[in-house]
Structure 1
Amino acid sequence: MTVLEYHDAASGPVAADAPRTFLPQQDRDPAPAEQARIRPGASANAKLAVAGAAAAGLSMGLLLTAGIGLIPPGWTLIVSYLWFVLIYSTLVFMREQFSAVRDRFVTVLMVSAGVTVLGTLALVIGFVFTRGQEPLAYWNFFSQDMTGVGPLSGLDQGGILHALVGTLQQIGIALAITLPLGLTTAIYLNEVGGRFAKVVRTVVEAMTALPSVVAGLFIYASVVMVITHQTNGFAAALAITVLMLPIMIRSADVVLRLVPGNLREAGLALGAGQWAVVWHVVLPTVRSGLATAVILATAHGIGETAPVLLTSGFTGVMNFNPFYGPQTPLPLAALELVRSPVPQMVARGFATAAFLLFVVLVLFILARWVGGQEAGKATDAQLRRMAARSRRDLPRIEKNYHDFNYQQEKE
């Protein structure tokens, strides 16, 4: 029986039944045992070092302030924190290299900054709601104005309905002016451009740093003193507009920059004009971002006090006409009530501030939720709506297709 052979360039003739594939993995040494994986996060020693340094820092702070009296008691937290940083850095230096000490030191500073901001916000919210919780329990606080309410009247009389109506009307007028002007300016900066766009962008950036009292003085000098000759809600709305406009333009400008350039190029390549691409491609892509810009500008305008202090006037009665007579918004009502020497009025002022703070927080949370959508990426609800529209359009497309084929066959 003849054994077939084939010729290998490296080793010469090889039998046909010999293995033709060289498997180098079979000749390798067995792999070493897998080492333990490094898990990210703080180790037990690091956590104990932080806890021990915090306890030691607090003890030193209490000793130097409340114990010995070397430092005033009001400095207890600051002194304790400085000792905590010093002791923690020393503990890390005893076990780690200098680079690790530097990293841990910067990490402690960053975490401390975040905790300080959250703590300050919680302290402000807690203080305002604690001082104003009693009037908030009465329904009349939201359904009545201050008509006929004296300084010694009980909390079951009077409310902030007049201030709520004033705020809604003034913010509505400001949005009616700011929304088209702000969005068109942002579109101009991104889609048109040119030399003049640089000037506009510079002016907008400068207006974001404009003090609110300057906006109020400008409207007071140019509108109240020259045109209306009295404080009113419309003048306050114009002052709020001056402050809302740069916020909306900058926020919308940043969002429009996130639109991918290939979307614009695809629309132009399909034969659409520039403004058709802007209206049907660019704006729908960043719809959520533009809504966030509107909400942020609204929240900024609702909380302004200095401009409305000069332009709106103060009254405790209802005024539905923003063009005639004083019209008090919520920030001004809270300010005037808190300045009263009567405890009931002060409580109403803190309740007004708490309600205003709640509204602003809700707007910021809503902006965060709406702005969480990535530009150009549809949500699940939008995908379902697009699928439903496609199913509705399918019979029409099929009918047009059959009509076209029938027409082609006739020809």
Structure 2
Amino acid sequence: MTTGTTAGHASGALPGAAPPPIPAGRPAAPPAVSGAGVPDDADEAARPRIALRRVPREETGVALASLLAGASAAWLLYGRILPVAGWQGYLITAYVAFLVLYTLATHLRSDAVQARDRLAGAVVATGIAMLLGTVGTVVGYIVKRGHGSIDADFFTETQEYFGALSGPDVAVGAAHAVVGTLEQVALATAMTVPLGIATAVYLNEVRGRLAGVVRIVVEAMSALPSIVAGLFVYAVVLIGMGQGRSGFAASLALGIMMLPIVTRTTEVVLRLVPGGLREASLALGASELRTLWHVVLPTARSGLATAVILGIARAVGETSPVLLVAGGSSRMNWNPFEGEQESLVYFIWRNIKSPSDRLNSLAFGGALALVGLVLALFVVTRLLAGRAPGELSRRQKRRIARESAAA
């Protein structure tokens, strides 16, 4: 006993005793870790955090300085050292120099992880800025050239009594083209959307024996040129069946272009529906059809609206199929199944070639109306189907808040 006690005192292992001081020159012991080799909570709290989603204020100054330095370096290369010229190469060189300098500056101030994060953020931010700038430039140019033609006559008058030599007192508009576009797109949507959704359900939910073949056909149709679709409808409907040019023939060609987009987008959306929802519905005794109709499709409602919007946006802007099978007419034709019918894309194509400045402005007005039509369809569709199932609207939330405050 005496020997053990003496040994315990000598080793300093008395319970509750403070650890002996670390002699000078000896390295400190590593931080204590848990049994799994993970540092303690105190070490985790003391370790600096890296904010990957928030850009500090000083980073803005670093980015601007890097941008200025990159532009200066590109100017020095293009203007003083290298025997090259051209603003396209200058912009590319300045952009690459900006990314390199910004990454180096961030790495010197922090670490490699944050430098890579800032580089990715800079690439994404500049890509979005270039995209928005390009779209804004196109839309701004269309608005500048076509806003003078958007008046009451544009939506109420036709081009039946107006020509290149007509005076300024003759009213002219694009009412016949607007009506033709709406009817053709509506017919194409009515034929394509149910078929595209049914095909996507077959590919993702049913998964029959022909699913692989159908998927290959849909992917092949995605790369189909629009002129081929127009030629197919022209050969089958106009020549084979002996039908004349009409808005319905144009809607068939537009439907061929819409079908692969609606199908592929709907298939992707259906894949995003959690499998647990299907399993829960089937476990409660619902059939597969009832599960699809009451669980899967309502859950994917917002994505289905996006698929419809993408298909309509593709159909509205197609020109070559309409030129082949619609025929075009300067008069109003309310019947899409008989007679040639105008559309906005045909209207733009025909008037932009005219030597009349008024008709050229009218063509840009048609382009502006086409952009506004797509935007209106997008907003209406998102309002009708953009809210997820079970999600309360703002009015419902305000009503519940008032009732809670009153109670």
The answer to whether TM tops 0.5 is yes
Structure 1 residues 296 and 74, CA gap change in structure 2 (3 angstroms): closer
Structure 1 residue 160, shift from structure 2 partner: 0.8
- Note the residue ranges of structure 2 that are not aligned, 5 or more in a row: 1-41, 398-407
> 2:270 matched to 1:256?
yes
Aligned to 1:378: 390
Distance in 1 of aligned mates of 2:238 and 2:110: 67
Single out whichever of 81-90 and 115-124 deviates more from structure 2.
81-90
CA gap of 1:272–1:67, structure 2 versus 1, over 3 A, is: same
Query: 8 Å contact 1:288–1:370 — kept in the other structure?
Result: no
Distance 1:329 1:71, change over 3 A: same
Paired positions, count:
351
Match of 1:357 among 365, 371, 374: 371
C-alpha change, 1:89 and 1:286, in structure 2 (3 Å) is closer
Alignment of 1:68-79 (within 5 A): 71-73=85-87, 77-79=91-93
How has the CA–CA distance of structure 1 residues 64 and 348 changed in structure 2, closer, same or farther, with 3 Å as cutoff? farther
Q: 2:50 touches 2:114 (CA, 8 Å); kept in 1? A: no
Residues 61, 83 of structure 1: 8 Å contact kept: yes
1:47 to 55, 60, 80: 60
C-alpha contact 1:289 1:370 (8 A) present in aligned 2: no
Match in the other structure for 1:302: 316
Q: Deviations over 1:181-213 (max 9, x none)?
A: 222222222332222122112211221222211
Aligned equivalents of 1:115 and 1:301: distance in 2? 27
Structure 1: any 5+ residue segments left out of the alignment?
A: 1-30, 386-411
CA positional deviation for 1:372: 5.0
Aligned to 2:129: 115
Q: Which amino acid aligns with 2:134?
A: T
The alignment status of 1:223 with 2:269, answered yes or no, reads no
Match of 2:160 among 111, 129, 147: 147
- Tell me how far 1:99 sits from its aligned partner: 5.9
8 A contact 2:305–2:386 mirrored in 1: no
1:337 partnered with 2:361: no
SS at match of 2:210: helix
Given that 1:292 and 1:370 are in contact with CA atoms closer than 8 Å, whether structure 2 keeps it comes out as no
Q: 1:65·1:73 contact (CA, 8 Å) conserved in 2?
A: no
Percentage of identical aligned residues = 41
Answer yes or no: is the 8 Å Cα contact 1:66–1:73 preserved in 2: no
TM-score (norm 2): 0.75
Q: Is the Cα–Cα contact under 8 Å of residues 248 and 296 in structure 1 kept in the other structure?
A: yes
Give the secondary-structure state (helix, strand or coil) at the position aligned to 1:380: coil
Could you report, residue by residue, the CA deviation over 1:274-295 in whole angstroms, capped at 9, with x for unpaired residues?
Answer: 3233333333333333333223
**Counterparts in 2 of 1:8-23, with a 5 A limit?**
none
Q: After the TM superposition, which of the residue ranges 266-275 and 178-187 deviates more from structure 2?
A: 266-275
Could you tell me how far apart the structure 2 residues matched to 1:312 and 1:241 are?
14
Is this contact kept in 2: 1:255–1:286, CA < 8 A? Answer: yes
Amino acid at match of 2:174: I
Whole-Å separation in 1 of the counterparts to 2:174 and 2:79: 45
Which deviates the most, 43-52 or 158-167? 43-52
Query: How has the CA–CA distance of structure 1 residues 106 and 222 changed in structure 2, closer, same or farther, with 3 Å as cutoff?
Result: same
Partner of 1:191: 205
Distance 2:304 2:170 in 1: 42
